[in-house]
Amino acid sequence: MKEDFLHYVWKYQKFDTRNLKTVTGESVIVHSPGMHNSNSGPDFFNGQLEIDGQMWAGNIEIHLKASHWYNHKHQEDSAYNNVILHVVWKYDTPVKRTNTSEIPTIELKHWIPATTRSAYKKLFDRANRWIPCEPDFYRVDVFTYKNWLDTLFIERMEHRTDQFAARLEQLNNDWEALLFHLLSEYFGTKVNSDSFGSIATSVNYSLIRKCAGQPGHLEALLLGQAGLLNQQGGDSYYEKLREEYVFLKNKFKLRNEHVIPPKFFRLRPMNFPTIRLSQLSMLYSKNQQLFSNLIEASSKGEYYALLKFEASEYWKDHYNFGTQSVSRSKLMSNAFIDLLLINVVLPLKFFYMRTHGQFNDNEFMDLAQSLGAEENGIIRKFAELRPKATNVLESQALLQLKSEYCEKKQCLRCAIGNWFLKR
């Protein structure tokens, strides 16, 4: 038995409320269970109860055992003086407020139907399941499922914006700088995310703005800060970039000793740091109003037009300096652009519009539904349980479901878990 279950039972009144009595025999009528509190303090605020014919308004505290009141030292905390009812699974001692007055207590185990307890046990007693409700996941009705996915998608966007908010403050509320830092990390892909992030951090964004109008300068700046222009001697393009970087380094007193060296090992050539840094430099060189353009864009086609760039001409027949390869365009793939849209552009747009009071739920949800779902192991596993996610809204929602609810066994906070408990 978990305390969360008692919270669920009390919040939704999933027990026999007829002839409800305290452990001392006082009748109890629940007019309102109160507002669930997930922070410090009593578990439910502003409940309304009738105890032995007397109306009470105040807070409700819930424990597995009555004695936990003392384990948590609530008797010493004035925040609990307004508790009007103690709801427990097992009553093992009377409880008192700081003024020594006794609090009415309900021992809830006598009032919870066997069917509710059985459904709870069935949901949680499933060892070695990928998710607790795995065998029955397909049974959830479409209306409940789709509505919950909508909620989970927004929740995931909010979680990302919480992370962005702290970084925006560190960047002196410069939204363009925040976009550059986020894009840099995702251009590095999983292997070089930290490295590319450290490159972005090593340069003040004002210098990126200065260099953006000169593609060669920006490419030299990024490759140089990455430590990829350290050697003397190379082909003419390498020497040109190196010369430009040395000029920038001396003029702006650049340092890169804290930059994490990028890795090439076990990477597909299209993800080599040289290619990705060149693509990033071309993206900013040819789109100097990138942030505002991304915020204003409203369709998949517009986003692709803004983000689809290729590395500079040299890289058509190179993956690294000095080693020629078969000529091939180094154009950013649709799959890579989708990665940027899902992980950077959508959550950043959500954050910006919410911050500036411009958010439109329907437009944003429509945009998310116009983008294809990402492919990964979690999404493929969910596809074994019910029809596959078809768009970003659904796939991001499923990732949120798995990480924040299924992995943490938060079934009582989950609409799907609640659906099963009501069966």
- Domain boundaries along the sequence of the chain: 3-112, 171-332
Please say whether the beta carbons of 88 and 64 come within 8 A: yes
Integer angstrom CA distances of residue 60 from 7, 11, 209, 266, 307: 10, 11, 56, 57, 53
Q: If pLDDT is split at 50, 70 and 90, which confidence band does 68 have?
A: very high
pLDDT tens, position by position, 269-319: 999 999 999 999 999 998 989 999 999 998 999 999 999 999 999 999 999
Share of the chain above pLDDT 90, in %: 79
pLDDT at 226 over 90: yes
pLDDT at position 123:
78
**Residue 336 to residue 210: CA distance in whole angstroms:** 27
pLDDT digits (tens, 9 = 90+) for 228-263: 999 887 899 999 999 999 999 999 999 999 999 999
What's the predicted TM-score (pTM) here?
Answer: 0.78
DSSP string, 245-305: HHHHHHHTT---TTSPPP--TT--GGG-HHHHHHHHHHHHHS-TTHHHHHHH--SHHHHHH
Does 114 score more than 90 pLDDT? no
- The pLDDT, as a whole number, for residue 126 is 63
User: How many CB atoms neighbour CB 117 within 10 A?
Assistant: 15
Lowest average pLDDT, out of 116-130, 230-244, 385-399, goes to 116-130
Task: Give the pLDDT confidence of 323-335 residue by residue, as tens digits.
Answer: 999 999 999 999 9
Look at residue 331 in the predicted model and tell me its pLDDT.
Answer: 96
Structure tokens at 97: 């407020």
- 17-37 pLDDT, tens digit per residue, is 988 999 999 999 999 999 999
Predicted confidence at residue 38, as pLDDT, reads: 83
| pLDDT on residue 234 | 82
